[in-house]
């Protein structure tokens, strides 16, 4: 079904912060903390950097939810315009280099979470604009993972074209719900003459 009743008691998990536990864990950059488990942010202070990918992940007993933020900062625009096609190592075809670099930045964060908490739940991935393109690459990589049988469902909103015709054909089995506003130009870029579909 497209929707289901959610009981009031059903909620997504955020691991609690336990100051007594974390004090023993050598405070500093490598300290374990719930925010490090649920939030990904590779932002850089340099306006010339192309790093500004953010994601959130949480779960309950039936669903793991991953949400990826879209274009917001100047660094995101650098990723958006880096449209050269590069091989999609996790599957077939070629994909937009900027989107692929953003996906590669967060893939270990997602895999670490799945290694800890995936117990057969459906994985729902969502993203808007740039986040939708990254979400598509993540969803297709998880669908292609040979060491796990992930049940992946993808929702994108106003996402740009991400890969070439070979990538799109290979990703056809992916359950992808794509919402596009009729007058939004972002889903029509990069242009088809750049071999984007």
**Predicted pLDDT at 13:** 67
CB atoms within 10 A of CB 71: 19
Least confident of 29-38, 43-52, 68-77, 115-124: 43-52
Residues 70, 130: Cα–Cα separation, whole Å: 4
- Residue 73 pLDDT more than 60? yes
Q: How confident is the model at residue 78 (pLDDT cuts 50, 70, 90)?
A: low
**Predicted pLDDT at 194:** 59
Average pLDDT over residues 10-34: 60
Residues 40, 53: Cα–Cα separation, whole Å: 7
Q: Tell me which H or E stretch contains 105.
A: helix 97-117
Q: How confident is the model at residue 53 (pLDDT cuts 50, 70, 90)?
A: confident
Reference 141, options 99, 80, 190; nearest CA is 99
The rounded mean pLDDT for the chain is: 81
Strands (E), 51-130: 54-59, 63-68, 85-87, 94-96, 122-128
CB 49 within 8 A of CB 78: yes
Which structure tokens are listed for 61? 């007993």
Give me the domains of the chain, ranges plus CATH numbers: 73-197 (3.40.50.1820)
**Predicted pLDDT at 55:** 92
Share of the chain above pLDDT 70, in %: 68
**Predicted pLDDT at 43:** 74
CB atoms within 10 A of CB 105: 18
* Residues 6+ away with beta carbon under 8 Å from 167: 88, 91, 92, 93, 94, 95, 140, 197
- Residue 20 pLDDT more than 90? no
Cα distance between the two ends of the chain: 29
Question: Is the dihedral angle over the CA atoms 134, 138, 143, 149 positive or is it negative?
Answer: negative
Give pTM, 2 decimals: 0.81
In Å, how far are 18, 21, 29, 31, 163 from 24, measured between CA atoms?
10, 6, 14, 9, 46
58-62, 123-127, 177-181: which is most confident:
123-127
Strands (E), 2-160: 39-41, 54-59, 63-68, 85-87, 94-96, 122-128, 151-157
- Residue 31 pLDDT more than 70? no
CB 55 within 8 A of CB 63: no
Average pLDDT over residues 67-90: 78
Least confident of 78-92, 115-129, 149-163: 78-92
Which structure tokens are listed for 47? 């306006």
- Residue 6 pLDDT more than 70? no
**Predicted pLDDT at 25:** 58
- Residue 77 pLDDT more than 60? no
């Amino acid at each position: 079904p497209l929707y289901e009743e959610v009981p009031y008691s059903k909620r997504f998990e955020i691991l609690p912060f336990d100051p007594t536990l974390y004090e023993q864990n050598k405070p500093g950059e490598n300290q374990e903390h719930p925010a490090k488990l649920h939030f990904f942010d590779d932002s850089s202070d340099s306006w010339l950097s192309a790093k500004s990918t953010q994601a959130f992940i949480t779960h309950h007993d039936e669903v793991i939810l991953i949400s990826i933020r879209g274009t917001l900062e100047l660094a995101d625009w650098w990723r958006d315009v880096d449209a050269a096609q590069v091989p999609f190592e996790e599957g077939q075809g070629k994909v937009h280099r900027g989107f692929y670099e953003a996906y590669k930045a967060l893939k270990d964060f997602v895999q670490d979470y799945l290694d800890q908490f995936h117990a057969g739940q459906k994985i729902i991935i969502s993203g808007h604009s740039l986040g939708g393109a990254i979400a598509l690459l993540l969803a297709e990589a998880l669908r292609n993972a040979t060491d796990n049988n992930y049940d992946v469902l993808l929702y994108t909103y106003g996402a740009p074209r991400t890969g070439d015709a070979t990538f799109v054909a290979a990703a056809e089995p992916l359950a992808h719900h794509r919402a596009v506003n009729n007058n939004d130009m972002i889903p029509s870029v990069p242009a088809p003459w750049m071999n984007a579909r």
